[in-house]
Amino acid sequence: MKFATQRKPWRMLLMLLMDHFGGFNTLLACLSDGGTGICVSERSPLHVCQAIERDRAHLLPTTPTFLAMLIGSELWKTHDLSSLELITYGAEPMPSAVLARLRKILPHVQLKQTYGLSELGVLRSSSPEPDSLWIRVGGDGFETKVVDGLLYIRSESNMLGYLNAPSPIDEDGWMNTGDLVETRNGLIRFLGRKNEVINVGGQKVFPTEVENVIVEAEGVSEAVVTSTPHSLLGNAVVAKVALDQHEDPKSAANRLRDHCRQHLQKYKVPMRFEFVELSELMTERAKKRRISQQRPDALIDSRSDV
């Protein structure tokens, strides 16, 4: 059991909710290692920056979406975050542009991608480079494999099952995580959730791929890509975007559409851009707020090749 081994005690900020497995795992780690847990009354960039500065937090476990909000708020310019030693992030794919910006504004902080599930636990993870989104997951008590682009995990300490629902773990102990990944030399890179893939005229679109391109454009804080029904294609790609500064919506949409056309195939370019406040893109769990209107009959079959 991971908590049976004494580890370095951290002054950690407990910003992930207790109904989120990451939050529960953080609290257990804090208690078992004799660390200090720092609570915040509100999970906003302002309250988190104030807590780090006031209580000299060493560790911030959070999500890529919150980190994008932190960067866009520019509160890191006016608050002392020098005590931070480590930021761990997970629960959703990290945009490469956000990771690059984070390394630039907080060069003294180690960044680590984490991965875990409520059903199986938290796996050990490591990256070959600090700015790499390729990681190796596993460790004692875990086995992993990739089948048709989907990550499967077998754990020695998995749950027994759900109450009044089928178990997600097969008779051999493997669980289909639903996470789509790429593989390279024993490493994996997360592409997104299987149920988030958009079917545009029979072509597969990964929302995270489109989001990464949009966030790389000048003046963009964050983007969330979903789908909307389309009479000819079945579905079309749409994007909600938070800008760093106010810009004429029509001009901004044209600029971002041209940017996407330079880096994406035509069917992946959003049909519509909607501009919103950054906070509207984040849920209470500090993850991207995805509300897709994809037609049920146009969902990618789970047996399709990735």
Kindly report, residue by residue over 56-65, the tens digit of the pLDDT. 999 999 888 8
Work out whether the CA dihedral 74, 75, 77, 82 comes out positive or negative.
negative
Query: Would you tell me which CATH number, out of the four given (3.30.930.10, 3.30.56.10, 3.40.50.980, 1.10.240.10), belongs to the domain 9-113?
Result: 3.40.50.980
- pLDDT single digits (tens) 253-291: 999 999 999 999 999 999 999 999 888 887 776 677 776
Specify the pLDDT at position 291: 63
- Measured over the CA atoms of residue 41, residue 43, residue 44 and residue 46, the dihedral's sign is positive
**Predicted local confidence at residue 301, as pLDDT:** 30
pLDDT score for 251: 94
Q: How far apart are CA 52 and CA 60, in angstroms?
A: 9
Q: State the pLDDT at residue 152.
A: 92
Pick the CATH number of 197-298 from 1.20.810.10, 3.30.300.30, 3.40.630.30, 3.40.50.720: 3.30.300.30
pLDDT beneath 50: ranges in the chain: 294-306
Q: Whole-model pTM?
A: 0.74
The pLDDT of residue 26 = 79
Residue 192 Cα to chain centre, angstroms: 8
Superfamily per CATH, domain 118-191: Luciferase; Domain 3 (2.30.38.10)
pLDDT on residue 142: 84
Instruction: Return the H-helix or E-strand segment holding 179.
Output: strand 174-184
Taking the domains of the chain in order of start, what are their residue ranges? 9-113, 118-191, 197-298
